[in-house]
Chain A
Amino acid sequence: MIMTEQGETGEAITILLVEDDAPTCWRLQDALVKAGYEVRSAGTLAEARQALSVGAPCVLLTDLRLPDGHGIELIRETRQCFPDTEIMVISALGDEESVISAITVGATGYLLKDAFPTDIATTVRDLVAGHSPISASIARFIVRRTQGAAQNSAEPPRGPALNTARLTPREIDILWGIAKGFSYAEIASHLGLSRQTVPGHIKNIYRKLEVHTRSEAVFEAVQQGLIKL
């Protein structure tokens, strides 16, 4: 029996899957269709743009390296045109380089290409429910960057540019907990929070790490003293 996942409005949840490697695409598509999602797939940037022009999906899952461009562009465009669409990046390794750069343009999580089918479905369901997944290594990368900014180290840090100035101490504490492998429940009890509020905090963290426009990026850079006017 196939269950159909439905959003709050009762409509089927549509997913646009952008992945150029056919077997991977099939694999992900199978897992998502089995979970009851309505999946459209695209193999190139052009196909993805065409699919977007038809209508906004609820969720965009995209690989970063595409034959005719970079997934980052697609994420940025989607974020601007369809702010309600949840965006996830598909990554083979879940390395910070690709995930963080996707986060800064509006992605709110990542999916490993080899994840088990049940995990794929669970991750997307959580995302639609407003729970942005975050891995320990991504959390680690972000908190290390906040430390680097605090130490004001001379050499520019490794990896993509990341603005951590707007994160609150509480959010940084949460990130530390995740980085050290604590569960949401453990983090919540350590920090005196309710277990349910932790995912919301994480979503906020993603939103704060997003750089919306070029001018805002410049403004943030000035605020952090990265650029001297």
Chain B
Amino acid sequence: MSELAAKAPTEAPAKPARRRLLASRLVPYLLLQALIVIATVLGLRLLQPSDPEDFALSGFALREDGLTRAVALPHFTSSRYALADPPFYTGAFTFRGGEAASGWSVFLPRFSNAVEVAVNGVVVLDSRRDANANRPDRNTPQIALIPTSLLREGGNEITVRLFVWGPLKGFLDTVYVGPDAALRPAYETRTLLFVTLPVVFSAWQAILAVILAIMWLMRRHEPVYGVLAAAMVLGVVQAFAPPPVPPATVSRLAAVLLASAPIESALIVVFGVLFFGWRWPRYGTLLFVPGVVVFVVGLIGGPPLPRILFLVLGIPTVGLCLFLMACVTATAVVRRQDAASFTIGCAVTIVLVCWIQDMLTVLEIATNDRIFVSRLSYSAMLVAIGAGLTWRFARALNQVDSFAGQLVTRVREAEERLKASFAREEERARAAALANERTRLMRDLHDGLGGQLVSIVALSERGNEGATITDAARAALKDLRLVIDSMDDIGGDLMLALGSWRERATAQLRPHDIALDWRVATPQGLPLHPELRPWHVIQIVRILDEAVTNAVKHAQARHVAVTIETRDGPQGPYGLISVTDDGSGFALAGNCEAAGAGQTARGLRNMRNRAARCGAVLDLSSDTSGTRVRLQLPQRFPDSDMAAG
């Protein structure tokens, strides 16, 4: 009750507390992202490669659609879908041969989509030969050495044909003509940034894709790896699929693969959601619709449809996905406050800023010589994701380690406990066995030795009857030997017990001049009984003793014959021991109990009791020609004393 009462008030302030927590976590994160935005913008400005402005040519005459006008580079031309009659730029530069020993080059830092450059009417560069140079999403520069023979001392003419295929507008950045040594470093810098680096990143992405795919294959229950691998594969395909130059007959598949960025970005969102341990909502599939539309329509319609759709549908989808991803990571940061969500969140912010920058560029709001940085910044996200995954992997390994350690400790503890309990159990079992054995021994000694000793005492007190005392003492000794003998482990072979008994019986009969005929009818004697226990042996030997004693005391026999054999019964072999004497026999009363007082009768009753306790069948017949005791052993001796109670 008191717990409930205590809990109720804590419920109420939970929400404000949660809000406070949200604010205390979200605000710093957002501030950090703002800092990152600023850093990214500044970084992009710094990243802007510097060109050798001394050799810039920006004054050109543009002939387009039959009209000629003066333009200043960089210059945008209208978007077009036909390659015939491209915009034609004509410019002039001055060559002074004495200035530099090296040759002169023409350097085009940025153009879209392809250029053909001629100096004094001779073509020195055609970027259409290099498929990757024409990709609008890469900022590939071009440089061409101008053969010295073409150059004239003084004024020279340079013409540039700009091939444009929509939907983007054509673009021609400032053209540089000058000594190769002066232009080459700027070219190298741009190549490094915009050609080599993307290839390196793409290779990295390919490796990551393979690793993630293997992870997913080995751990199917974690689709997050599979999703990310698919995204990576798409990215790699985009990077390495050759972009077609329009007049060439091009595979439509290649065209649509190049426009697969929306699907890729949707996959990244799926990854984000799954990575942070949330369920992917069913309506989330809608995110794939634009990508699939671009893909299907592009596949059916063929170029330039994929490009147009990509611009109209794809790019905004990418932006939307980036925005969603930013929200997802922000939520994750608030909820989890861990390094992985922080890292990925920052990376997403960077990509988002770059995407906005590219949008501004496309819409010609920002003037930055039309350098697209989305693709490049995407690699920043890859770094972050790689780091996140590695972090998660390492943490999982640590958990496994500590779990294994705990497991080892626990197993050891359990083992100790088990050992202790086993030892306890063993001790208890040993104590129980000992107690049982003691009980048995007591009973056995009481049955035989005790009574005999008492009898000796009684006889001694009467002062005579030396022979009777002797008999009683001998009987006591014999019984003591029997008890000791029965303690020995005979391995279930009753024959071993009977062997000792034969000796004792022979010694007992010898003074009375009674011969003991010992006959083992079957070679092995009696069947083996692994379940045979000492108390069984004692009962059986006492039955046999009783039979022999009767023969001596009451029947005046001259021969006692013991026959041991194994017979085959319906349930298998069983042992049979017969003791036969040639004495005068005795009258068997119909009811032993009623016959009462006689010593013989008591002996007979004892024999039957003992046989019953061992599960054996005692058969007794007696007439004037002798007595026959037939003891049929059970197939299996009982575990517990049947008549012990």
- Residue numbers of A with Cβ under 8 A of B are 92-96, 114-116, 118-119, 135-137, 139-141, 144, 147, 158, 178-183, 186
Q: How far is the CB of B561 from chain A (nearest CB, A)?
A: 14
User: In the bound complex, do residue B503 and residue A136 qualify as a contact, i.e. CB atoms below 8 Å apart?
Assistant: yes
Chain A hits for B503, CB < 8 A = 135-136, 181
- Are B502 and A95 touching (Cβ within 8 A)? no
Alpha-carbon separation in the docked complex, A144 to B495 (Å): 13
CB of A181 within 8 A of CB of B488, answer no
Taking a contact as CB atoms under 8 Å apart, the answer to whether A144 and B489 are in contact is yes
Given contacts A93-B477, A116-B510, A136-B502, 6 further A-B contacts (CB under 8 A): A137-B500, A140-B499, A141-B488, A179-B499, A180-B495, A180-B520
Contacts of B642 in A (CB 8 A): none
Decide if A136 touches B488 in the complex (CB within 8 Å).
Answer: no
B518 at the interface (CB under 8 A from A): yes
Contact among B484, B501, B525 with A93 in the assembled complex (CB-CB below 8 Å): B484
Decide if B496 touches A93 in the complex (CB within 8 Å). Answer: no
Residues of B581-631 at the interface with A, using a CB-CB cut-off of 8 Å, are: none
CA distance A180 to B498 in the complex (A): 7
Interface size on B, residues (CB 8 A): 26
Of all chain A residues, the one with the shortest Cβ separation from B476 is: A114
Q: Could you show 25 A-B contacts with beta carbons less than 8 Å apart? A: A93-B481, A93-B484, A95-B484, A96-B488, A114-B474, A114-B477, A118-B510, A118-B511, A119-B507, A135-B503, A136-B496, A136-B499, A136-B500, A137-B499, A139-B499, A140-B490, A140-B496, A141-B488, A144-B490, A179-B496, A179-B499, A180-B496, A180-B498, A180-B525, A182-B499
- From the candidates B474, B484, B498, B507, name the one contacting A181 in the complex (CB within 8 A): B498
> Interface residues, chain B, CB within 8 Å of chain A?
473-474, 477, 480-481, 484-485, 488-491, 493, 495-496, 498-503, 507, 510-511, 518, 520, 525
Note all chain B residues with C-beta closer than 8 A to A116: 507, 510-511
A119 and B496 in contact (CB under 8 A), knowing A94-B481, A114-B477, A140-B490? no
Q: Are A181 and B495 in contact (CB under 8 A)?
A: yes
Question: Which B residue's beta carbon lies closest to that of A143?
Answer: B496
Q: Which B residues are CB-close (under 8 A) to A96?
A: 488
Is there contact, CB below 8 Å, between B511 and A181? no
- For B495, list chain A residues within 8 Å (CB): 179-181
CB–CB B518/A181 < 8 A: yes
Q: Is B496 in contact with A115, judged by CB distance below 8 angstroms?
A: no
B498: chain A residues within 8 A (beta carbon): 180-181
Least CB distance from A156 to B in Å reads 14
Bound: A116/B473 CA distance, A: 13
Specify which chain A residues have a CB less than 8 angstroms from the CB of B507 in the assembled complex: 115-116, 119
When C-beta atoms are compared, the residue in chain B nearest to A181 turns out to be B499
A81 to B486, alpha carbons, bound, how many Å?
Answer: 38
Contact residues in B for A144 (Cβ distance below 8 Å): 488-491
Report the Cα distance A191→B483, complex, angstroms: 32
A136 to B506, CA, bound (A): 12
What is the distance, in angstroms, from A123's C-beta to the closest C-beta of chain B?
A: 11
B481: chain A residues within 8 A (beta carbon): 93-94
Q: Which of B480, B501, B520 contacts A182 (CB 8 A)?
A: B520
In this complex, the member of B477, B485, B510 whose beta carbon has the largest number of chain A beta carbons within 10 angstroms is B485
Complex A-B, nearest 3 residue pairs according to Cβ-Cβ distance, in ascending order: A181-B499, A136-B499, A181-B502
Which residues of chain B come closer than 8 Å to A136, judged between CB atoms? Answer: 496, 499-500, 502-503
